A and B are shown apart, each in its own frame.
Chain A
Amino acid sequence: MGIHRNGLKWSLAVLSLLGASACDPFHTEFESIEDARYYTAAQLTAAAPTGPLRVMTYNVKFGGGRIDFFFDCHGDRVLMTESETLRNLQGIAEKIRAASPAVVFLQEVDVLSKRAAYLDQLQWLLDHSELNYAVYASQWRSDYVPSDGLGPVDSGNAILSLYPLSDVVRLALPLRGDQDALTQYFYLKRNILKARVRVGDSSVVLLNTHTSAYSQDGTKHTQLQRFESEMTSASDEGSWVIGGGDLNAIPPGSVDTHNFADAVCEGDYEASDYRGEEDWLAPLYERFASAIPLDDYQADNGPYFSHSTSSQIRWNRKLDYLFTNGQFLQGLVHQDSASGGQDTMPLSDHAPISAELVLP
């Protein structure tokens, strides 16, 4: 997801006119470490920890379902109506309720964006699931994105939980270095959302991220290294750690690395050529256990694919991950009714992944 250069020249004039004296007139910038935003469900569900901790990661594509948006290069839609957004969110909420995770990592959840009819999707999903608490770290925030009619955007990563969350921080990831200052000002600011959840006598550090999709300068690699470093630090402190999200990278040993049939974008939105990046996730696989073991994936890639930008083309690459320093059971990519009980293709351009962490 990104912004066109068309219109950005114009935005320079906007910047100079509106609140020119302010350092950050459109509120797009973040500190390197910031507090995250806390949410609580309208009605709390009683939670008694039993058995392993079920966790899910899901890039929900701002509730866009399979509407053909301009950035996918399959259509020209920019904005959704409230009814469209709610209809798509209902499917996502149904999926989450059916999987009944105790912890959910969400990526691309919009809390106040024009493209999603200004609906606070995180609060809505919290209120329409069994989960009680959530924290949010914005990844793309601007009072106005002067490009493509996007207008105001606030979209990012969230962690939802049945149990209270604490020690929550937004850790800024390195910004793309291949953009001019003006583009970068309005562009996405990737982050790691870090929180701690206490389950019975166990304390688990949670790390949710969504790394860069479009960078051509190695920024994504740097972000992945930072993510691995944060997971390692938390693990070295003696905590249980679960980290995951949409890493926009394919596992080592992937058969297909480019020329995906659904990837029709060129230029700024070309994001699906992973040649040269095949080993970027190797350190994570070497140090942590994956919801989908690498051996299983390398034996047969297909059942573990989690992404396709087109509803007409089946999942054809794996971009979504869950890792832990403990032991995962029941790792599953919820691709369809046969694998997860519900067809997830209409809900988002990513399939959710779940696993259960064995706690003592």
Chain B
Amino acid sequence: MNGARCTTTGDGLPRLAPRFLVLVPWSRVLVALFSLGIRLGMGETAIASPENIAPRPSPDSARTLAPDTGEVGLISPLRYGAYEGIELSTRVFGALLLPQASAKFHLFGGDPRAQRWSFASRNTLSYPTWFFERIAKEGAGGLLPANTDVPLIVSLRSELMTGRGMGASHELSLSIAAELAPRFTDGRLPLLDFPLLYPRFAASHSTATADIGGAVFGSVWGPIRYHTDLRYYYLPLDTADIAFDGGYAIEQSTTLTWDINSTWSTSVSYLWTHALYPIGTRTHSLPYADVIYRF
């Protein structure tokens, strides 16, 4: 193979390339071309590039956001790197219906991007009573009867996460979680068996639930990132009031994110869910889009 050698590009992939081509700073060329394309497409808006868009850990990553950095989306949570190895989060709009706050702590292990396992825990405290009281009203969607006597419930969800890199631009994350939602007052709360809400509020009906899942995320091309995950919820419901022995839910979602520039991203997603409800198994899907701001 005269005039050619095996080399490695910036993304770690081996390539065969002529010698003169190897001398070209391809990463800069690509950045320049990419920036030009974005500039032509976006007018005078800020420019995205692999240099000025530092990869941010996914919410599902065992990594935490760097201190004093954060992001917030219409649907995605507000996340903030409070300290090294500590990330705080909440859902800005979701919190209006369900007050909640999460803290993710990096426990030990190396950077997953360096193909080392890293471990973290994420703990979420929420107040589902607030949500149930909001929907147990006339004209509030008909999810719960207006005469529902909602008990005082505080929920704590604890999640153990681990992850490691797969190649240079992909990451695998696995996690197992348990949610405890004890009641502090008496009340009668009907099962909320509406799709998607069902696994998320099941602990309020059974005191405890558990779930396990995994996610893979990384770069597709340039400013396009992907995230795909799969999760199983075990829902041992309190069946004192109903003829049902408990159920489960499986959820799978995939998101494609476009980093428009260093501060704005937009994404499209679908969420697919298959669950055993008291009326049997049902499958639903939910497409949605999001806009994310980074700081």
A interface vs B, CB < 8 Å? Answer: 4, 6-8, 10-11, 14, 17-21, 25, 76-79, 81-83, 112, 114, 117-120, 143-152, 154
Residue numbers in B under 8 Å from A149 (CB-CB): 136, 142-146, 148, 190
Would you give the shortest CB distance from A232 to chain B, in whole angstroms?
A: 38
> In this complex, what residue of B is CB-closest to A76?
B147
Would you give the shortest CB distance from A331 to chain B, in whole angstroms?
A: 36
Identify 28 residue pairs between A and B in the complex whose beta-carbon atoms are under 8 Å apart, listed by A's number: A4-B138, A4-B142, A6-B142, A7-B140, A11-B141, A11-B142, A14-B141, A17-B287, A17-B288, A18-B286, A76-B145, A77-B147, A78-B147, A82-B243, A114-B190, A114-B191, A114-B193, A117-B241, A117-B243, A118-B243, A120-B243, A149-B136, A149-B142, A149-B146, A149-B190, A151-B143, A151-B190, A152-B277
State in angstroms the CA–CA spacing of A145 and B147 once bound together: 17
Q: Is the CB of A147 within 8 A of B142?
A: yes
Q: Is the CB of A118 within 8 A of B279?
A: yes
Q: Is the CB of A152 within 8 A of B278?
A: yes
Q: Which of B195, B241, B288 contacts A81 (CB 8 A)?
A: B241
What band does the interface of chain B fall in when counting residues whose beta carbon is under 8 Å from A? Answer: 20 to 34
Would you give the shortest CB distance from A67 to chain B, in whole angstroms?
A: 12
- For residues 218 through 249 of chain B, which have their beta carbon under 8 Å from a beta carbon of chain A? 240-244
Does B45 sit within 8 A of A, measured CB to CB? no
Q: Is the CB of B141 within 8 A of A143?
A: no
Does B184 sit within 8 A of A, measured CB to CB? no
State in angstroms the CA–CA spacing of A23 and B279 once bound together: 20
Does B139 sit within 8 A of A, measured CB to CB? yes
Q: Which of A118, A146, A154 contacts B141 (CB 8 A)?
A: A146
Q: Which of B140, B278, B286 contacts A114 (CB 8 A)?
A: B278
B interface vs A, CB < 8 Å? Answer: 136, 138-148, 190-191, 193-196, 240-244, 277-280, 282, 284-288
Q: Is the CB of A151 within 8 A of B193?
A: yes
Residue numbers in B under 8 Å from A82 (CB-CB): 240-243
Given the interface contacts A6-B139, A7-B142, does A152 sit within 8 Å of B279 by beta carbon?
A: yes
Known: A112-B279, A118-B278. 9 other contacts (CB 8 A): A10-B140, A11-B142, A77-B147, A112-B280, A114-B242, A146-B142, A149-B144, A149-B148, A151-B143
Would you give the shortest CB distance from B235 to chain A, in whole angstroms?
A: 15
Residue numbers in A under 8 Å from B282 (CB-CB): 143
Would you give the shortest CB distance from A350 to chain B, in whole angstroms?
A: 24
Q: Is the CB of A118 within 8 A of B244?
A: yes
State in angstroms the CA–CA spacing of A150 and B145 once bound together: 7
Residue numbers in B under 8 Å from A146 (CB-CB): 141-143
Main secondary structure of the interface of B (DSSP, over half): loop
State in angstroms the CA–CA spacing of A18 and B242 once bound together: 25
Residue numbers in B under 8 Å from A21 (CB-CB): 285
> In this complex, what residue of B is CB-closest to A141?
B279
> In this complex, what residue of A is CB-closest to B241?
A81
Q: Is the CB of A17 within 8 A of B147?
A: no
Would you give the shortest CB distance from B186 to chain A, in whole angstroms?
A: 15
State in angstroms the CA–CA spacing of A114 and B145 once bound together: 11
Would you give the shortest CB distance from A2 to chain B, in whole angstroms?
A: 13
State in angstroms the CA–CA spacing of A145 and B242 once bound together: 18
> In this complex, what residue of B is CB-closest to A79?
B190
State in angstroms the CA–CA spacing of A147 and B145 once bound together: 8
State in angstroms the CA–CA spacing of A14 and B243 once bound together: 26
Q: Which of A20, A83, A152 contacts B193 (CB 8 A)?
A: A152
Q: Is the CB of A17 within 8 A of B242?
A: no
Residue numbers in B under 8 Å from A83 (CB-CB): 241
Residue numbers in A under 8 Å from B136 (CB-CB): 149
Residue numbers in B under 8 Å from A117 (CB-CB): 241-243
Q: Is the CB of A144 within 8 A of B146?
A: no
Would you give the shortest CB distance from B202 to chain A, in whole angstroms?
A: 15
Residue numbers in B under 8 Å from A81 (CB-CB): 240-242
State in angstroms the CA–CA spacing of A152 and B244 once bound together: 13
Q: Is the CB of B142 within 8 A of A10?
A: yes
> In this complex, what residue of A is CB-closest to B279?
A152
Residue numbers in A under 8 Å from B191 (CB-CB): 114
> In this complex, what residue of A is CB-closest to B244?
A118
Residue numbers in A under 8 Å from B195 (CB-CB): 18, 144
Q: Is the CB of B146 within 8 A of A148?
A: yes
Would you give the shortest CB distance from A124 to chain B, in whole angstroms?
A: 9
Q: Is the CB of B146 within 8 A of A76?
A: yes
State in angstroms the CA–CA spacing of A8 and B287 once bound together: 21
Residue numbers in B under 8 Å from A25 (CB-CB): 284
Q: Is the CB of B243 within 8 A of A119?
A: yes
State in angstroms the CA–CA spacing of A19 and B272 once bound together: 9
Residue numbers in A under 8 Å from B284 (CB-CB): 18-19, 25
Residue numbers in A under 8 Å from B277 (CB-CB): 152
> In this complex, what residue of B is CB-closest to A21?
B285
